[in-house]
Each structure stands twice: as structure tokens, then as C-alpha cells.
Structure 1
């Protein structure tokens, strides 16, 4: 009996074998290609399943995907994968690979929330928001100890909260979404428009910590927008804890200080006085861990 977890990210696919509850082993990754996207993903799944033993022995697959998603019909529409932007029936495709397996799908933010709740900073926390700040921005909601997925599976997709004072067009078709302002990719685009010459969020954070003025301004801009979005979401959800993970969230104090300052400025209601904003403890592979939990049991959502 073999259980697999699959992470469909904006730039990479990752897959592994689930053992010992929600632990993921034998993880393999592949870049998302500009075309032939499903072929790359399917090849990765076959490789992981074969390395675990018998492909025919796969009994369950948990999928965490960049959004939007529609869990009712098993379709994903990742904004940063053009070939799938109009919709890809991923559950049906994975089920065709592993005909005897149960296939479950959730948005990556819900998987992050599951991971944090099981093995991370949200253990023992009943009501919270988990966020991922990387090439995009997503999130998942914990309410009374379970992940809330909403009507279509997109509950907690905080990347498309509109933040005040920003008129940046978003890939979703809206304007001023926090993802369009504060994600790693968006921050790099802004910094390059100001004359910075790097290419990635990691490079941007490194430049900021070395004193590059444009990079420092980019991280301050991103942190401020993130704090505004967090304050709004926390007021709406009546939560006391927000956990933030993802590669760009590891940029350090130059991102986190303006983030926390914006939370303090905007989260002024009495019931938000105890609001905590914490870094993730599941620093790598959180979506995979959440997908593993999802593969084990659908009662978690």
C-alpha cells in the first residue's frame, strides 16, 4: 500500500511518499515547463511511485495546488501556469495514472494550514490563518480545529484581498491585490522597475540585507501590504494567530518589521489585541506535508 503527496506550485512540482502519519519521504522535484505541463507532472508521479515499489500499489494521492481550484469537480486554474490557467482536471488525470487510488485535492494554502496544525506553529491553536508568501501569496483557515475550504475550495486565498493605496494590476484581473504588491515575484518586478538588476526574491532579500536602497524599499513595500492584508483578514475571521511561511517570508527583519508595524496600525479592534503573527515552523515542503495529511483523511477539512 503506497500513499503519495503532490505539490503543484507556480514554478515547481514536488512529490513524495507518505509514511508514518504525515511524514513525506523520497521527495523529488521538477521545474514547471512552459509546455507539456501534465506530462512533466505525470512523469514525476510515476518516478516517485516506482521508486516506492509498485505503481499499481498506490492507494491514495493527496494534491496541494496553487489556486484557484474547484474541489467540487477536481479542476485547478493556477494563475502562474499559463497552460492550465483556463482549467485542468487534475484529479481525473491523477486517477487515470493510479486507477485504484483515492485522489483528494486542496488549495496549497489549506495544505499549509494542515501542515502547521499537525506539526508546526498552529499545534493546539483552534482558530488561525496560515499564509504562504513566495512567488505568489496564499492561505488557509483553521476554525475550531479544522481547515475551512469554502464552497469551491478557495477559502483562505488571502492573496486576492485588496490592500489600500495600491493600484497594481493583478494576474487575476483585479487591481491592488496583495499578491500583486507583496509576493516575491511582484516585489522583484517593482524593484526592477526602479532600477534594481536582480532576478529573484532570494537575491532581492540578500541585496536588501546588504543595504541596497531599492531592495530595502521593495521589502518595506511588501511588508506593509502584507500587514494591511493580515489585519483585514484577522478582523473578518476573529482569529488570534497568523503563521507565515514560504520562501519570500524568509527575507528577514526588513520584511517582518514593516509587516508587524502595519498590523499594529490597522488591527485596532479590542478582539484583535492578542493577535500574534509568527513565522512558520514548517520551513520546507509544507504543502507536501498538508497534502499527505489530506491523503490520509478527508475528515480534516
Structure 2
């Protein structure tokens, strides 16, 4: 087991829009950064080429010889047991052997893969709103809804790196079909595009030629638009049901919510906390706190490094600055 506090982890945060990379130290600081757009509509080799460019840029940094491992947080599904990824928004990658490809380009360093929701969870537990909590659910509510779990003080990834994927818990048994194949999933109700879709379907009207995003719906809700407010309240209800189910199952202390939709602030959090009282009713679940995430857009990189550090026994326990 390494305890080399001078060591770094090379982190990759891979999504449908961008591939971000950084060298991360044991305080969660991003010492060197690199980024490329994701060629999401191209073939597998072209997408991997962009990842390789990010790695090559990091490897040119003077600090690269201090790198002990590579941590990857990727849009999913991922399969950490096989080292493969099949991101929904990168159709050229289906069961793509990302871990082997990165290991080859990183000089044989150990590589740890987790889903992007798990990476965000690792970051928030290490440096953010879940710091100091032994049991937590962290969620990304954005274009989709993802998440991850901390249990007994450690990141709980599950065998394939997807544990805590709360977006595909069904909270409406006869609800709308979800693209995942199930019905009434949290994501089908609470994601940004679904909040906007429902608001439009029930009478919200954006400014002519205007913004149809969840952020625009949030602004309308703050201004008193009934359909916009109702859509956020429905999303809050779905999130509350999912959080309560998780609290009942594994006894979490806190639910941390990040992602673009969390930027709505009290438009989301006020009804969410209120509805949580309706669902988290048992004594051991009723005390769960709901907090906004703190780390923002760097969470994926910080969390990919933290996940690798935990799995490989680097910086144990991680220190925080």
C-alpha cells in the first residue's frame, strides 16, 4: 500500500461534451489541467484519440513522474469489473475497453474506473457537502440523474462501478416509459429535460424564441408561474421518494444534490425537503438531511482521483486542505 503524500493521481472525467483531465494531489487540488471536446458522434477510435490527447498533454507536465495511478469517471453505463464503458451519449463506445486502452497509454500505471455519479460522490465525500459523514447518497441531477453511495465511511462502488444509480429507481409504478426500459424512473420525472417537457405540456410558455431549459422553468417558477412551479414540485416529489427509499434501505445520514438542476436552489430544495417528510417516515430514515453539492464542475476530476486513491490505498485516509 502506498502512503506517498507527494504522489499524484491522473484523473479523467469523460462525458458526452468534453473529456477533461487533471493531475490531482492529496488535498484535491488540480495541479495540471487538460481538456478536449468529445467527438461523441465519431467512431470508437476517434473518441479514444481525444482521450489519448488529454493524457499526452498531462504526460508532458513536469509533475507527471509523480503520478501513481489513473482514475476515470465516465458517463455510463460502465463496467468496472470488465474495464469497459458504453456511454449512452457516445454511441461509438459500446463495451469499449477503456481501462486497457488508458493503461497502455499511461505506461502501465494502475487504472480505476467508476461511473460519473460515483466520481461525484467520491469528491463530495472527500472535499464537499458529505465530508465527515459515514453514510451518504450523492446525486447529479442534470440531463440525466445519477448518483453514488458512501457506506461506513467508504465509497461503495459495487462490482461494476454503478452502485447508487438512483436515477433508475422506479417511483411511479405505472408511470411513463423510461429510455432504460423501465417505467416511472426518478430520471424520467426529475431530470432537467423532463422538468422542461412537463412544464411545457401543462401550460408554461417560454419567452418567444426563448430558453426552454430547466433553468428557464426555474426562473418562471420563482416569478410565480404555476405550471413551472408544479413541474419542479413533481421533480422534488420523485427525488424525495428515491432518497427515502435509499435511506430506508441503507440508513444514509445525508443526501447531497448537485448538477445543473440543483442550481434552481429553493425552487427545488424547499419542496424536496417538504416531500421527504411524507416518504422518509420511519425513525431511522426521517433524519436524513438534504444539502446542495459544493464542488461544481471539478467534482468529476476530484472524485475520479479520490476513487482511485481509495481503491489502491493511496493517501489513506485522504487528507483535506
Normalising by structure 2, what TM-score? 0.83
Counterpart CA distance in 2 for 1:297 and 1:240 is 21
Question: Runs in 1 of length 4+ with deviation above 6 angstroms?
Answer: 54-57
Instruction: Identify the residue that residue 94 of structure 1 maps to in structure 2.
Output: 102
CA RMSD between the two structures: 2.5
Question: Structure 2 residue aligned with 1:250, among 232, 257, 263?
Answer: 263
Question: Structure 2 residue aligned with 1:118, among 119, 122, 126?
Answer: 126
**Aligned-pair CA distance for 1:2:** 5.9
Describe how 1:146-295 pairs up with structure 2 within 5 A. Answer: 146-164=154-172, 167-194=175-202, 196-197=205-206, 198-295=211-308
**Aligned-pair CA distance for 1:78:** 1.9
**Aligned-pair CA distance for 1:193:** 4.3
**Aligned-pair CA distance for 1:291:** 0.8
Larger Rg belongs to: 2
Indicate if the aligned counterparts of 2:8 and 2:67 stay in contact, CA closer than 8 A. yes
SS in 1 for 2:297: coil
**Aligned-pair CA distance for 1:181:** 1.4
**Aligned-pair CA distance for 1:218:** 2.5
Structure 1: 5+ residue stretches without partners:
none
Instruction: Identify the residue that residue 319 of structure 2 maps to in structure 1.
Output: none
Change (3 A) 1:199 1:43: farther
Indicate if the aligned counterparts of 1:141 and 1:148 stay in contact, CA closer than 8 A. yes
Indicate if the aligned counterparts of 1:126 and 1:144 stay in contact, CA closer than 8 A. yes
Change (3 A) 1:275 1:38: same
Question: Structure 2 residue aligned with 1:17, among 18, 23, 30?
Answer: 23
Aligned residues: 299
Instruction: Identify the residue that residue 84 of structure 2 maps to in structure 1.
Output: 75
Instruction: Identify the residue that residue 53 of structure 2 maps to in structure 1.
Output: 43
Instruction: Identify the residue that residue 70 of structure 2 maps to in structure 1.
Output: 61
Residues 61-116 of structure 1: per-residue CA shift (max 9 Å, x gap): 110112221111111122233222x3221111212222232211112222222212
SS in 2 for 1:284: helix
Q: Which moved more, 1:237-246 or 1:53-62?
A: 53-62
Question: Structure 2 residue aligned with 1:135, among 143, 146, 151?
Answer: 143
Does residue 26 (structure 1) correspond to residue 32 (structure 2)? The answer is yes
**Aligned-pair CA distance for 1:272:** 1.5
